[in-house]
Structure 1
Amino acid sequence: MAEEVERLRTLAPERDFRFDLERGLPAGDAVSDRVAQIVVNLVGNAIKYSSGGGPIAITTARAGNAARLDIADEGISIPAEVLPTVFDHYRRVERGAARAVRGSGLGLSIVRQLAHLHRGQAWDDSEEGAGSVFHVTLPLAVPE
């Protein structure tokens, strides 16, 4: 994950990336390139939709038998009426400052599909006017 974040950091060197990464999380069943795609999509969205230069927080932690990834920004928040469908294919927020952001509307859909592929979950706890917070959980490997 660190490689993907560093690559994205070079695209937005002015951004304040804040990390709180739990060490020693087992890899679980997740295929690393697919997990990397989840990180790239979520951090990429945080960069695109928070052009004001506010911080982007990236947190990993154990959540029971899963690893949890949280990506938070202080940018354009997602309106409450859009939250239930924000992970749908081609779904884009077409209101306010979000209209000026280019994209296909597939990034979050891919995040959720990859999370489900690994028996995990993806969701958004954004509060309108307070930025966005995306969460992903992926099951951890069970020690043999």
Structure 2
Amino acid sequence: MSDAERTFVMVKPDGVQRGLIGDIVGRLEDKGLKMVGAKFMQIDEDLAHEHYGEHEDKPFFEGLVEFITSGPVFAMVWEGDDVTRQVRQMMGATDAQEAAPGTIRGDYGNDLGHNIIHGSDHEDPGANEREIALFFDEDELVDWEKDLSQWVYE
């Protein structure tokens, strides 16, 4: 594996249903980030409970689980310098109504519940590794050289 950071990103069921996978992948690629893993999948309740475990005692927890299991998602692993923070900035505020225009949620999201995308929290150390391990086996991730890297990073 390269020295670059990896992070977990997921197009949620509302983004999949609205046909936004390609637009979101395109934005991340346009930024110069490198995809190293992806899968179209249906999340079951056990995985949803594990993924959102830190919210288990909150009143909105069951709604989160119901939503994320309501349709397929597109799970991805992206690589790049400071990639977790970069992706979070590109996503915009969690509440899509507060997300700035030009961000993924600002351009495509409608509200807090339908905010299109999930990305690992850059303020939670280790969140990216934990989430990647939940959704991907190591052999599902591809270590490859992006020929354009010299034009993206110093």
Higher normalized contact order (CA 8 Å, seq sep 6+, divided by chain length): 2
Normalised by the size of structure 1, how large is the TM-score?
0.29
The structure richer in strand per residue is 1
The structure richer in helix per residue is 2
Normalised by the size of structure 2, how large is the TM-score?
0.28
